[in-house]
Amino acid sequence: MSQQKNIVVLLGGWSSEREVSLVSGKAAAMALRKLGHKVEEIDAGPDLALQLKNSFAGAGPDIVFNGLHGLGGEDGVVQGVLETMRLPYTHSGVAASALAMDKTRAKIVLANAGLPVPQGDIWQREDFTDAPAMDCAHVIKPNRGGSSFGVYIMGEGDKRSPRKLIAAHEESDSEFLVEPFIPGRELTTAVMGERALEVTEIFAANDFYDYEAKYSDGGSRHIVPANIPEGIRALCLDYALRAHKALGCRGLTRTDFRFDETQGVAGLYILEVNTQPGLTPTSLAPEQAAHCGVGFEQLIDWMTGDASCDG
């Protein structure tokens, strides 16, 4: 995209991922300014439509770069506002954003597309009791959430109370996904349009790739390309692109995997598809793009050129 545009970068917002969004959005805004565009940063609020209308001295933006994360920003809500205003925006559209954010429904779509996903059940907040410990390791996560907020790993015989854990969860989620814990390696693959980029293996400094591991200095190590069998690498690339398409995504996405190498090919599972991958200094998608020869400014330029207001 060579022609100068008026671009609003949405950042911040009201979800628990606000701080991550502020970093992602500011990084994107800096890149867009270096590319020669006029940029205004908007901390998205409930009056977003008015904020956008008043931007650029009332002229409004040509394009909106959506740097929001979490509820409200990547679940179809903001996307609906932008489509109603007929403003081209980056990342996936309303339907794909809403579907990918709802982990249970996304898993149904992925499974129907022949992609491997863990078994699991949806529990309402009131379903959790102080019952005896589970007989195998499980993961409990909000059905609609990201950045590992509110995710708990319950080991076999774990004596902690699930009710007390989820009671401490900040968001107003009423639904939680309960899945068997898959041991093994943490892998991820970014998709850029019609292209799956590479496979990264993530080594968290602690036992779990949680919020701190994702966004703090030294919280994790990323190995790109991952040191995995070529057949598994090929499957990750294939599965990520197929998941991107099955959910109706566009732009940049990132698919997260667990790989239990003791099970071979059968041990590779898709955990989720992220329609708004982070753009922070420690983020995985820009790192993979750079490995493939696409620098950060080039990536942001491509994403902006891919913007649309038609889903």
pLDDT tens, residue by residue, 66-81 = 999 988 899 999 999 9
Rounded mean pLDDT, 285-311: 95
Top CATH class of 6-90 equals alpha beta
Rounded mean pLDDT, 225-239: 97
Rounded mean pLDDT, 277-289: 91
pLDDT reported for residue 150: 57
311 pLDDT above the threshold of 50? yes
Buried b (16+ CB within 10 A) or exposed e, 32-61: beebebebbbbbbeeebeebbeebbeeeeb
Strand order in the sheet with 185-192: 220-223, 195-204, 185-192, 252-259, 268-274
128 pLDDT above the threshold of 70? no
Confidence of residue 227 (pLDDT cuts 50, 70, 90): very high
Q: Is-contact 274 248, C-beta < 8 A?
A: no
pLDDT reported for residue 278: 93
Q: Is-contact 79 24, C-beta < 8 A?
A: no
pLDDT reported for residue 142: 74
Domain boundaries, given as residue ranges, for the chain = 6-90, 99-116+183-299, 121-180
How far apart, in whole angstroms, are the C-alpha atoms of residue 176 and residue 131?
17
CATH of 121-180, one of 3.30.470.20, 3.60.110.10, 3.30.1490.20, 3.40.50.1000: 3.30.1490.20
Confidence of residue 182 (pLDDT cuts 50, 70, 90): confident
Q: What is the CATH number of domain 99-116+183-299?
A: 3.30.470.20
Q: Across the strands, what pairs with 203? A: 221
- Which segment of 218-222, 283-287, 296-300, 305-309 scores lowest on mean pLDDT? 218-222
- Asked if domains 6-90 and 99-116+183-299 share a fold, the reply is no
Q: Which H or E run contains 183?
A: none
Query: Could you give the residue numbers annotated as active site?
Result: 17, 147, 215, 254, 256, 272, 274, 278
Q: Is-contact 97 72, C-beta < 8 A?
A: no
pLDDT reported for residue 67: 97
How far apart, in whole angstroms, are the C-alpha atoms of residue 38 and residue 40?
7
How far apart, in whole angstroms, are the C-alpha atoms of residue 281 and residue 283?
6
Entry pTM = 0.85
The runs of H, that is alpha helices, within the chain are 18-34, 48-54, 77-84, 94-101, 103-112, 162-167, 211-215, 230-246, 284-291, 296-305
Strongest mean pLDDT among 84-98, 151-165, 173-187? 84-98
Rounded mean pLDDT, 209-226: 65
pLDDT reported for residue 308: 96
185 pLDDT above the threshold of 80? yes
Q: For 134, which DSSP code?
A: P
Share of the chain above pLDDT 70, in %: 79
